[in-house]
Amino acid sequence: MKRVLITGATGNIGSEVVRFLSEYDTSYRIVVAVRSIDKAKSVFKGYRNLDFVHFDFEDPSTFDKSLLNIDRVFLLRPPHLSDVDKYFRPLICEIKRQGISDVIFLSVQGAEKSKVIPHNKIENLIKEYGLDFIFLRPSYFMQNLTTTLLKDIKNKRQIILPAGKAKFNCIDIENIGEVAALLINKFPEYKNSAYELTVY
């Protein structure tokens, strides 16, 4: 049975990806790559088809073992990690070294247009190493309204963002997770493409 590694599995998108994948009748075994296996076991209690492996973006000594016998990787960038050469180059290098060719990367809408954001650099890194890829470029998460933006909405009745004159909309994390899970399953049909995910 093939094995797909899910990074950021306990977060907004990763948890939805794991949920959808575990509900599908898939030929993949889901490997949840996390800093705390105990925490992940409680988050995913009752889910089927899961394995757990210790993985830390900030500790390259965890890469080798967690990528062993993996066929496909769902990669995301935890928001606090911006130094792509420090955290992501060694990881992509190890993915390549272990002969894993398929990477689905959670990027962001507009990543292709901005040379400064880490998502742009990670997309380029994946291409530089010659991996097959799917880039998911979602717009703003709807759930930001009830998390990061909630304080300003409650106290100032405003949504304050460094958006300039950009037009953008929101998308539910559940929809992103579902698309990601579908594309993980159908990777060969959709590979080497980027998909902008928005509400229309």
Ligand X SMILES: NC(=O)c1ccc[n+]([C@@H]2O[C@H](COP(=O)([O-])OP(=O)(O)OC[C@H]3O[C@@H](n4cnc5c(N)ncnc54)[C@H](OP(=O)(O)O)[C@@H]3O)[C@@H](O)[C@H]2O)c1
Q: Which residues form the interface with ligand X (CB under 6 A)?
A: 8-14, 34-36, 39, 55-58, 76-79, 106, 108, 138, 140-141, 144
- What's the closest the beta carbon of residue 16 comes to ligand X, in angstroms? 8
Nearer to ligand X, 76 or 131 (CB): 76
**Please, what is the minimum distance in Å from the beta carbon of residue 86 to ligand X?**
12
**Strands 140-141 and 2-7: what pairing?**
unpaired
Q: Which is nearer to ligand X, 147 or 193 (CB)?
A: 147
Nearest residue to ligand X by CB is 11
Shortest Å distance, C-beta 14 to ligand X: 5
* Least CB distance to ligand X at residue 168 (A): 9
Between 102 and 118, CB nearer to ligand X: 118
- Comparing CB distances to ligand X, the nearer of 108 and 131 is 108
Nearer CB in complex with ligand X: 143/188: 143
- Give least dist CB 106 to ligand X, A: 5
CB 16 within 8 A of CB 174: yes
38's CB contacts (< 8 A; 6+ apart) are none
